[in-house]
Amino acid sequence: DADVTQTPRNRITKTGKRIMLECSQTKGHDRMYWYRQDPGLGLRLIYYSFDVKDINKGEISDGYSVSRQAQAKFSLSLESAIPNQTALYFCATSDSGQGGSNQPQHFGDGTRLSIL
Amino acid sequence: DQQVKQNSPSLSVQEGRISILNCDYTNSMFDYFLWYKKYPAEGPTFLISISSIKDKNEDGRFTVFLNKSAKHLSLHIVPSQPGDSAVYFCAANSGYALNFGKGTSLLVTP
């Protein structure tokens, strides 16, 4: 079983619909992240959470919201999807540990989202 | 502004030879750098990292070099194998999350 699980893996929907992408992890990490990847570009940060009561905006948070339901669960919502939100979405986790921020992030396999 | 740059979109290397992937950054506050490998339909997989207090870190066939004065790092893969064919992302830690380059697609040919 994957340590970081994203559901769904693929989704096609229409403009204006509300979409929720879910992420769960079994790594026991306290930090969770959402990124998006567009063709030819690197991953860009949408939101991040360092613990259950902590939510922070990333570089491209407009049009998105998140919920940290538990240490192991972090969901991303598009309240009213638009075509330019078509992208590959990745969830990641990391451990605060002894290195603090200097710990690698571990990624799920992504959700391919297409908005028509 | 792209703070982490990978200027070579692709690289082709023969099996057994050395692969060198390059990465430049602009923010001198970055203190931790990572390389990720990504296969199609999978998430990025952590490969190797280096702290800014070091100039080299080695793990098997993979070595990362850091030149802080030039704000440049490189990943060396020796010897290259066909299974190394993937997209490689350079990333730098900004203190709360990772800044990624656009990636370099490596093809290792037999």
Residue-wise burial string across A31-44, b where 16 or more C-beta atoms lie within 10 A, e elsewhere: bbbbbbbeeeebbb
Percent of all residues in chain B with a pLDDT value above 70, rounded to a whole number? 100
Q: Give me the mean pLDDT over the A108-114 stretch.
A: 96
Closest CA to A60 of A40, A72, A42, A74: A42
Of A93-102, B9-18, B71-80, B93-102, the one with minimum mean pLDDT is A93-102
Q: Over the stretch B38-78, which tens digit does the pLDDT of each residue have?
A: 999 899 999 999 999 999 999 999 999 999 999 999 999 99
Q: What is the pLDDT of residue A63?
A: 95
pLDDT at A1: 57
pLDDT in tens, A11-49: 999 999 999 999 999 999 999 999 999 988 889 999 999
Mean pLDDT of chain B: 95
A101–B32 CB contact, under 8 Å: yes
Provide the 8-state DSSP code for A83: G
CB B46 to CB A104 under 8 A?
Answer: yes
A63 touches chain B (CB under 8 A): no
Give A87-108 pLDDT, tens digit per residue. Answer: 999 999 998 876 556 788 999 9
State whether residue A34 sits within 8 Å of chain B by CB.
no
Distance from CA of A40 to the nearest CA of B (A): 6
Decide if B97 and A104 are in contact by the 8 Å CB cutoff.
no
Amino acid at B87: V
- Asked if B66 reaches chain A (Cβ–Cβ under 8 Å), the answer is no
> How far is it, in rounded angstroms, from Cα B100 to Cα B2?
9
Which residue of A56, A104, A109 is in closest CB contact with B43? A109
